[in-house]
Amino acid sequence: MMQDITCPDWLAFVEFISTQHTVSRGIKHGVLWRGHASADWLLESSVERIARSEYIADNKEPTEWRGEVPEFRVKDLLAVGLSSFSSTLDMHAEYGDRSFTPEQKLALCQHSGMRTIALDWTESPYVAAFFACADLVQAKSRAEPGSFAIWGLHAHRFASNSCRGDGSIPDTKFKFRVLDSASTANRRMFAQNGRLTSVWPPIHLEALANHRWLGAPDVAAALQKIIIPSSQAEDFLGQLNRMNINYRTLFPDLQGASLHANISMRNSNYEGLGWHPDADELISAISGKPAE
């Protein structure tokens, strides 16, 4: 059900992707990808993470937890978030006059930074690698021992919602979906080749894979986890920037430009830009001294 692959560096990662996967659009025969700054993180939505933490804290025997979280708490958290987000959305001229399906609104929430019940994926393993490494570097933990992870999801196997590879035994308990959530208003989603997935009732994907296929010999790995040392994150970001995969292209707005600038300030070799005259003017205005 799940396959772990260890790649020690960038070259090993590129070789694995180029030999084992054809990067393709769509999910019928392709793979969706997701990056995690820590290889220890679960494949669960941000709202599920809150509900899980509360659930384990309130139970005397958390070791018996099997991956599910209370539905009512997930619904409550999502309702609060959507109420707050929607009231603000209506005040923005760019979005206020648009009509969104529930899935499109969920995607807009997700790509604007709100916690939701969906998981973000991309059709590019390199975009997934960027998010894993950027989160890791910005958390200032790149020098700490550990690993980051890039997940590969064979979405069509999950979307069959069956407990056998041939679909002969339906899964009547959990429903997995790849959401139809794209909209022209969501520029970030298009830039990232993004997709969203959901599971209801809520459960993290490793647990769902075990529920459906544990011990089933006829089902190939539906999840792949590429594990890479955290020490490689800076090198990955540099290589990806040369491929034009960075915050500036994945977040085509001013926040993306700012995040890109932040990484450039942390690593002078990342962007390779020289001194900008605006810096002299700004320092002069702040200090009250003439620009040099």
Residue 120: both structure tokens together: 């973000």
Give the pLDDT mean for 134-143: 73
Average pLDDT over residues 4-9: 96
Averaged pLDDT for residues 189-211: 90
Residue 248 has pLDDT above 80, yes or no: yes
Task: Report how many domains make up the chain.
Answer: 1
Phi-psi region of 145 (alpha: psi -120 to 50; beta: other; left: phi over 0): beta
Tell whether the model's pLDDT for residue 27 goes beyond 50. Answer: no
**Span 88-109, mean pLDDT?**
78
Is there a domain that residue 177 lies in? yes
The pLDDT of 153-180, averaged and rounded, is: 81
**48 is written with which tokens?**
């599920």
Residue 168 inside a domain? The answer is yes
Note whether residue 213 is domain-resident.
Answer: yes
On whether residue 275 sits in a domain, the answer given is no
Q: Give the β-pairing of 2-6 and 223-229.
A: parallel
Percent of the chain with pLDDT over 90: 37
Both tokens assigned to 176: 């997995």
For position 93, what pLDDT does the model report? 60
Confirm whether 267 is domain-assigned. no
Average pLDDT over residues 73-81: 90
Q: What is the pLDDT of residue 218?
A: 54
Task: Look at residue 211 and tell me if it is in a domain.
Answer: yes
Which is more confidently placed, 282 or 1?
Answer: 282
pLDDT at 153: 93
**Which has the minimum average pLDDT: 60-64, 248-252, 270-274?**
60-64
> pTM of whole model > 0.75?
yes
Burial class (CB in 10 A: 0-12, 13-18, 19+), 211: middle
Residue 132 has pLDDT above 70, yes or no: yes
Residues of the domain holding 99: 2-252
- Look at residue 232 and tell me if it is in a domain: yes
Q: What is the mean pLDDT of the chain?
A: 83
Q: How far apart are CA 226 and CA 272, in angstroms?
A: 30
- Does 271 fall in a domain? no
Give, in degrees to the nearest 5, the angle at Cα 110 between 104 and 114: 130
